A and B are shown apart, each in its own frame.
Chain A
Amino acid sequence: MDFLNGLIALANYVLIPATSYGAQLALGALGVTLVYGILRFSNFAHGDTMAFGTMITILFTWLFQSWGISLGPLPTALLALPLGIIGTALFVLGTDRVVYRFYRRAKAAPVILVIVSMGVMFVMNGLTRFIIGTGEQNFADGSRFLITAGKFKMATGMEEGLAVRTTQVITVVTAVIVVALLFWFLNKTRTGKSMRAFSDNEDLALLSGINPERVVMVTWIIVAGLATIAGVLYGLDKSFKPFTYFQLLLPIFASAVVGGLGNPLGAIGGGFIVAYSEVAVTYAWKKVLGYWLPSALVPDGLAQLMGTDYKYAVSFVILIIVLLFKPTGLFKGKSV
């Protein structure tokens, strides 16, 4: 019984939150890895692209709410999401037209494109704050819990409660659908295959008649979609604040690098590795250990390795370890 209670506490405080966080990181890292594989640079503006897409989605959510439109138990933001994606895609395509294309034509080195993306990052950063403000926005509506801790205790008679939030389930379900669609697209469609070919061997892709501008355009649209979905899911699950999204850049890059830059499967694996490590390291294990260990062995302290304020350090450490020992990532990507 104690063992089960410990398991429930573990699921409640570690497994479930980390899984939905991992799904959000995975979607973010997929965008980073696609840009790296096809446009061949590390896109520092990705966190702010997520923020921008989320902002547009929030604005439409508010509009729908003011019209009295809702999705019942589901958040209204899901209805606004497609509009957020379209808006972000247009913005990103515009950025490519006025900024990136110039450097691409000049065959600029990847490091220059990284700096350029930082410039884009600051612009998007400012734009988002200018439009929606720097504060925190809570835009999740609908029913908050799928299973509440109280109901769970009543139904099972367990001491520990298990709460599952609607947004956590939505995150995981959406991520599964999006990833399945993305892999179907990349592996089965003509355009998707041409993107992989371009990523694999640009010169040979050109010799085969693949149009690079089209590949780049489709990539940006997909990246805008992934970034907006990741941002909205994160915002629903936690809350939206521009600065938080900028900070997300670190765990997202860690995920992409851990999995192997340029490798979509790696981005997903990396997202979960980073999320589980971050949550496990910052979780106070006292409760779970209390159930699992004989009382003499239960630690007096919280058994928390690191305060949550230091959670980004976890990504950083993982990033450094991987770069030192396996620069191509765990899933065979390109070397950084």
Chain B
Amino acid sequence: MPFLIGEAMTGGYGAADILHDCTIAVDKGQIAVIVGPNGAGKSTAMKAVFGMLNLRKGRVVLDGTDITGLSPQDRVAQGMAFVPQTSNIFTSMTVEENLEMGAFLRRDDIRATIEQIYTLFPILKEKRRQAAGELSGGQRQQVAVGRALMTQPKLLMLDEPTAGVSPIVMDELFDRIIEVARTGISILMVEQNARQALEIADKGYVLVQGANRYTDTGEALLADPEVRRTFLGG
């Protein structure tokens, strides 16, 4: 049994289903990556796993417990954290306040966790008093990931964390994400940069039109000539 599984998920925003029998899973301390063309339903699948979408069929199981009925807030309390694709920081608040808000549900001392985030992303310590909205794209994504990590989650969900950043910053972010996974946190990530993402993925999912098209280890997907030709540009 994987640590998290969204099993046979079917549902959408209104009457029409976007997801069709879609299954996404990630093991403890591993990185699972969802790739696929634009509009394939990757973000929708993430929202479904996080409880932001009503599922018509299927279920979500976290660490052996069925959480299909829980609200997003309750899922945060259960150890899940989510960095949405857009508007994922409080732009008018300082970097440090963003981190504090991430820890809003915690009642214990959060200083140590903030220091851990600053060790992971040293630039954030430098900019701690600056409004997060004034930072560069890569730094904003670090704030977003940092905010999500403040609850000390067991599962971190990232929707296109490298959108709009330079290749160098992307490599840097991937390195940090691997570092986070090494501490035992499971990572479920959607990525546009499919090739680079699959390189660091233990498990890869190729979604097309809301359904699983290919599912394998990241390595195997990269080696599959069919996947390479249709989704990785040769």
| Interface residues, chain A, with chain B CB atoms under 8 Å away | 190, 193-194, 196-197, 199-201, 203-211
Count A/B pairs, Cβ under 8 Å: 58
Q: Which of B82, B89, B90, B91 has the most CB of A within 10 A?
A: B90
* Complex interface: chain B residues within 8 A of A204 (CB): 84, 87-90, 147
Q: What is the distance, in angstroms, from B107's C-beta to the closest C-beta of chain A?
A: 10
B72 A200 Cβ-Cβ under 8 A: no
How far apart sit A201 and B84, CA to CA, in the bound complex (Å)? 12
Report if A203-B73 is in contact (Cβ < 8 Å); known contacts: A193-B101, A196-B93.
Answer: no
Q: Taking beta carbons and an 8 Å cutoff, which residues of B are in contact with A?
A: 72-73, 76-77, 82, 84, 87-93, 97, 100-102, 104-105, 147, 151
Q: Are B92 and A206 in contact (CB under 8 A)?
A: no
Residues of A within 8 A of B104 (CB): 190, 194, 197, 208-210
Residues on B with beta carbons closer than 8 Å to the beta carbon of A199: 92
Given contacts A197-B90, A208-B147, 13 further A-B contacts (CB under 8 A): A190-B100, A193-B93, A196-B97, A201-B87, A203-B87, A204-B89, A205-B90, A207-B73, A207-B84, A208-B102, A209-B73, A209-B77, A209-B151
Cβ contacts under 8 Å, B89 to chain A:
201, 204
Q: B105 — which chain A residues lie within 8 A by C-beta?
A: 208-209
A113 to B77, alpha carbons, bound, how many Å?
Answer: 32
- What are 19 of the A-B contact pairs (CB < 8 Å)? A193-B101, A194-B101, A194-B104, A197-B93, A197-B97, A200-B90, A200-B91, A200-B92, A201-B87, A206-B73, A207-B72, A207-B76, A207-B84, A208-B76, A208-B102, A208-B105, A208-B147, A209-B105, A210-B104
Minimal beta-carbon separation of B48 from chain A (angstroms): 15
Bound-state CA distance A193–B185 (Å) is 28
Q: How far is the CA of A205 from the CA of B93 in the complex (A)?
A: 12
CA distance A207 to B102 in the complex (A): 9
Known contacts: A193-B101, A194-B104, A208-B102. The answer to whether A201 contacts B90 by CB under 8 A is yes
Across the interface, which residues of A come within 8 angstroms of B93, CB to CB? 193, 196-197, 200
| Chain A residue nearest in CB terms to B105 | A209
Q: Within the complex, what minimum Cβ distance (angstroms) separates A186 from chain B? A: 11
Most buried by B among A190, A197, A200, A208: A208
Q: Give CA–CA (A222, B70) in the complex, Å.
A: 32
A206 to B105, CA, bound (A): 11
CA separation between A210 and B100, bound complex, in Å? 12
Q: With both chains docked as a complex, state the minimum distance between the C-beta of B100 and any C-beta of chain A, in angstroms.
A: 6
